[in-house]
Amino acid sequence: MTLAYQVKNPYTQESIGDFNFSSKEEIGNCLETLKKGREVQSNLRAFQRSDILRKLASLLETHAESLAMMITQETGKTIADSRVELTRAINTTIACSEEARQIQGEVLDSDAYAPARGRTGVVRYTPIGTVLCITPFNFPINIAMHKIGPAFAAGNRIILKPAPINHGSAAKLVELCYEAGIAKEVLQLVVPDIDQMAGLVSHPDVNAVNFTGGHPAAEAIAAHAGYKKMLFELGGSDPLIIMPDADLDAAVNAAIQQRFATAGQRCTAAKRLFVHQNVYKEFRDILVKASSELVVGDPAKEETFVGPLVNEQSAIQIKDVIDQSVKMGATIALGGQREGNIVFPTILENVPDDSPVMTEEVFGPVIPLREFESIDEIIPVINSSDYGLQAGVFTHDLRTIHRLFDELDVGTLATNDGPGFRAEHFPFGGVKHSGIGREGIKYAIREMSVTKTLVL
């Protein structure tokens, strides 16, 4: 018998449902069902897949408020933040619909290089097969659509494996996918336990794994995946750099929005703030004042900006990281306290470069401030991290921008914005322990396709 999993509201600790993990037999039935989906997908034309995705976007819009409430109840994300996620998910689905019509190959002339052979190469992008899409708790609908949408547009079959706490919202999303016209033979929902998950990842009928989550889980997936195609969007210890010519009010707003929203549980959160000595005190004072005015508490209330972390274990871990950093010499400018699953917005100063808030991916509402004199001193510090997802810089100096773009080991540099910037159609991904491959609709479609060449 499979084990029961109980989903609890992170703020109230009330049970909001339970389910049984998918058994080996259920996973086997799922894979058998998806085998029939190859013919289903091959009989659909690109415009038909586009129309289905457009209908799904409309259904997401119709059900946006109820889905937002489900996310808030499951994860503790504030209702305002959950609504933003649904808006993004709708845009993601629309973008998938549009890109479904734009999957194009190319024609190559063999005579471009000697000797002349008089042949033509026709390059096409074809479905990779069955894609296992594994999503995290923090953006359960939008990240799911960043996987389901491109995989479906490319003509693949899909297994959606959400975080267990998102079983309810994932089931509702799959229900809407079916209503929009995605066949059950093309999309299946499973939530295995850890033991069954290893078997699913290694199963020969799974052709690719598209995973968003932490580095340790990625290592485990890679160990079982063998030669499957892997697309990993992992963590980050993303820097935000404030130069002397920065718009400080805009920089403070970016720091707060991109670190304290979602209680800091974002891979692209501004996790390390490097502030030039010429503006350090002014920036610090504005940041502390603005952060002290944030409403903390019940995520279901409209005015709440910082809600609970996803569970008690996470809250305890973040408090431990704060305490460890203080023991190493950091001082608390704001916050530092924990009440249940809530960690209050915390700002640390005098943070040593080897303290955990600087070296680890801290998935909570903690901002470490690090004063600097020249970018010469901080580029090596930033690049010493095992992660390299995104970075942000506030400056109008093009020389600084170009240098940071050239020398920082990250996938994206956002100027006059924080590292949390993301547009659904931009390429998204990092280097080192931040992942392999790129999401962003067009790029994800390419990642989940096979390049085939016909020589004529």
Q: Which helix (DSSP H) or strand (DSSP E) does residue 453 occupy?
A: strand 449-455
What is the rounded CA–CA span in Å between residue 408 and residue 392?
A: 11
What's the rounded Cα separation, in Å, for the pair 356 and 372? 19
Q: How many CB atoms lie within 10 A of CB 39?
A: 9
Task: For the chain, give the number of residues.
Answer: 456
Is-cis flag, bond preceding 115, omega within 30?
yes
Alpha-carbon gap, residue 174 to 209, rounded angstroms: 19
Tokens linked to 166: 């998102």
pLDDT at position 116: 82
Please give the chain's pLDDT, 456 residues, in tens.
Answer: 457 899 999 999 999 999 999 999 999 999 999 999 999 999 999 999 999 999 999 999 999 999 999 999 999 999 999 999 999 999 999 999 999 999 999 999 999 999 988 999 999 999 999 999 999 999 999 999 999 999 999 999 999 999 999 999 999 999 999 999 999 999 999 999 999 999 999 999 999 999 999 999 999 999 999 999 999 999 999 999 999 999 999 999 999 999 999 999 999 999 999 999 999 999 999 999 999 999 999 999 999 999 999 999 999 999 999 999 999 999 999 999 999 999 999 999 999 999 999 999 999 999 999 999 999 999 999 999 999 999 999 999 999 999 999 999 999 999 999 999 999 999 999 999 999 999 999 999 999 999 999 999
Which tens digits make up the pLDDT trace of 368-406?
999 999 999 999 999 999 999 999 999 999 999 999 999
Active-site positions read: 233, 267
Q: For residue 44, give every residue at least 6 positions away whose Cβ sits within 8 Å of its Cβ, in sequence order, or none.
A: 155
Q: How far apart are CA 334 and CA 34, in angstroms?
A: 52
DSSP β-bridge partners for residue 342: 339
Distance CA 437, CA 447 (A): 7
Domains of the chain, with CATH numbers?
Answer: 4-234+434-455 (3.40.605.10), 239-423 (3.40.309.10)
Per-residue pLDDT reduced to its tens digit, 321-365? 999 999 999 999 999 999 999 999 999 999 999 999 999 999 999
Q: Could you tell me which of 409, 385, 404 has the C-alpha nearest to residue 394?
A: 404
What is the C-alpha separation between 344 and 272, in angstroms, rounded? 17
Six-digit token string for 117: 């052979």
Helix, strand or coil, per DSSP, at residue 390: strand
How many Å apart are CA 427 and CA 111, to the nearest integer? 33
CA 325/CA 354 separation, integer angstroms: 9
| Backbone CA torsion sign across 407, 346, 295, 14 | positive
Q: Write the single-letter amino acid at 335.
A: G
CA distances from 296 to 177, 259, 261, 331 (A): 35, 14, 11, 22
Q: Are the C-beta atoms of 54 and 276 separated by less than 8 Å?
A: no
What distance in Å separates the CA atoms of residue 67 and residue 232, rounded to the nearest whole number? 26
pLDDT digits (tens, 9 = 90+) for 285-329: 999 999 999 999 999 999 999 999 999 999 999 999 999 999 999
- Token couple for 197: 């998950």
